[in-house]
Amino acid sequence: MLTDGFKELLNIGIALSSVHDLDKLLDMILTEAQKLTSADSGSIYLVEGDKLIFKTSRSNTYFKRWGEKKTREIFKSFEMPITKQSIAGYVALTCQPLNIPDVQTIPQDFEFHYNPTLDKKYDYKTVSMLVIPMLNRDEKIIGVLQLINSLSGNKIVPFTDEHQKITTSFSSQAAVAIQNAKLTEDLKSAHFDTIFRLSAAAEYRDKETGNHIKRVSHYSKIIAENLGLSQQDSELIFWSSPMHDIGKLGIPDAILQKPGKLTPEERAVMEQHTVIGAMVLKDTTADVLKKSRIVALTHHEKMDGTGYPLKLKGNEIPIEGKIVALADVYDALSSKRCYKEPFSDEKVISILKEGNGNHFDEKILDVFLSSINEINTIREKYSDKEEDFDKFADFKNINILELLK
Residue 245 as a binder of Fe ion (CB under 5 A): the answer is yes
| In contact, 204 and 257? CB cutoff 8 Å | no
- Taking Cα atoms as reference points, which of 165, 173, 86, 98 lies closest to residue 134? 173
In one-letter notation, the amino acid at residue 164 is Q
- Which residue's Cβ has the minimum distance to ligand SIN? 189
Residue 230 as a binder of ligand SIN (CB under 6 A): the answer is no
Q: Which residues have a Cβ under 8 Å from the Cβ of 44 and sit 6 or more positions away?
A: 26, 29, 30, 54, 55, 56, 57, 134, 143, 144, 145, 146
Based on the residue annotation, tell me whether 248 is a catalytic residue of this protein.
yes
* Closer of 1 and 254 to ligand C2E (Cβ): 254
* Closer of 163 and 300 to ligand C2E (Cβ): 300
Q: C-beta of 284: minimal distance to ligand C2E in Å?
A: 24
Helix (H, G, I), strand (E, B) or coil at 26: helix
Query: What string marks each residue from 186 to 215 as x (binds ligand SIN by CB under 6 A) or -?
Result: --xx--x-----------------------
Question: How many Cβ atoms sit within 10 Å of the Cβ of residue 84?
Answer: 15
* Closer of 34 and 334 to ligand C2E (Cβ): 334
| In contact, 334 and 343? CB cutoff 8 Å | yes
d(CA 223, CA 234): 8
One of 248, 291, 302, 322 is an active-site residue; which one? Answer: 248
Residue 238 as a binder of ligand SIN (CB under 6 A): the answer is yes
| In contact, 388 and 210? CB cutoff 8 Å | yes
Q: C-beta of 362: minimal distance to ligand C2E in Å?
A: 17
In one-letter notation, the amino acid at residue 321 is G
Q: Which partner from the list ligand SIN, ligand C2E, Fe ion, none does 192 bind, CB cut-off 5 to 8 Å by kind?
A: ligand SIN
In one-letter notation, the amino acid at residue 313 is K
Candidates 69-77, 109-117, 186-194, 324-332: pick the segment binding Fe ion (CB under 5 A).
324-332
Q: Interface residues with Fe ion (CB under 5 A)?
A: 245, 328
Q: Interface residues with ligand SIN (CB under 6 A)?
A: 188-189, 192, 238
Catalytic amino acids?
248
